[in-house]
A and B are shown apart, each in its own frame.
With several copies, the nearest count.
Chain A
Amino acid sequence: MPVPILKQGNYLIAPIQASLTDEQMLLFRSKLAEEVGRTRVSGVVIDVSGLDVIDSFTARTLQDVTRMVKLRGAEAVVVGIQPALAFAMIQLGLGLEGVATALDLEEGLELIKWLGLNRHARGR
């Protein structure tokens, strides 16, 4: 079950809709990095509200994806981490350091616009 990657204006939206196997998750990672280049968007919102579990592998892949997107010159925001999963992540020790997060798609799009405007004030 591949993750759809949708273009909306200057942004890509990638809703991860169900449990992914590790391999599907890695495939998603490469595909997204490529799509950033192909579509020339300035930002990406990854919606994880459909995930049943965010374990250490998933968390680490999300971190990698957002770093790759940044190296490709765009911004990335992860949205939709459900409260129960947020709690499990904290217990596990997964803080998603360095990853911008927002409540949901709407807030994510707001945040990514703001990040785009401020990318340099932040020193990157």
Chain B
Amino acid sequence: MLVADELSIPIVSEADIVEARQRGRQLAVESGFGVSDQALIATAISELARNILQYAKRGEVVISAERRGNRAGVGVVASDRGPGIADLTRALEDGFSTGNGLGLGLPGTRRIMDEFELESEVGGGTRVTVKKWVV
């Protein structure tokens, strides 16, 4: 089976959240991740995609097959042009939510993935870049 190196999934409805995480899991399988890591990657994508829908209404999730040296990995970039995040430090605290959430999405995703980067500009949008490597 041929796998695209990069896949962009527009996030505009709830069904897209499911789609994005299923695609992510599939790529994780193909990259050689075990079943636990597949679940972690799918969960992280679910959290990031939901944040897009909830806080920015629309955006996209790009998943990509990664390689560093001879290690395979999966990368996820969740980006939107929504309202952005005013206080990045607080947004990364467990339990902080301006919505109706548990406030575990961002800090949890950070714990789940090997690499985590959060960029945001108020009025400009938000971009979360995460990666996970096969052990």
The interface of chain A, by Cβ under 8 A from chain B, is: 19-23, 30, 52-57, 59-60, 82-85, 87-88, 91-94
Contact = CB atoms under 8 A, between A and B. Distances in A.
Interface of B: 14-15, 17-18, 21-22, 25, 35-36, 38-40, 42-43, 46-47, 50, 94, 101-102, 104-105, 107-109, 111-112
**Chain B interface mostly helix, strand, loop or mixed?**
helix
B104 A94 contact: yes
A84 B22 CA distance: 15
Contacts of B101: 56-57, 60
Contact of A56 (B21, B25, B47): B47
A91 B14 contact: no
Contacts of B39: 53, 82, 84-85, 87-88
A54 B43 contact: yes
B104 A56 contact: yes
Contacts of A85: 39, 43
B108 A56 contact: yes
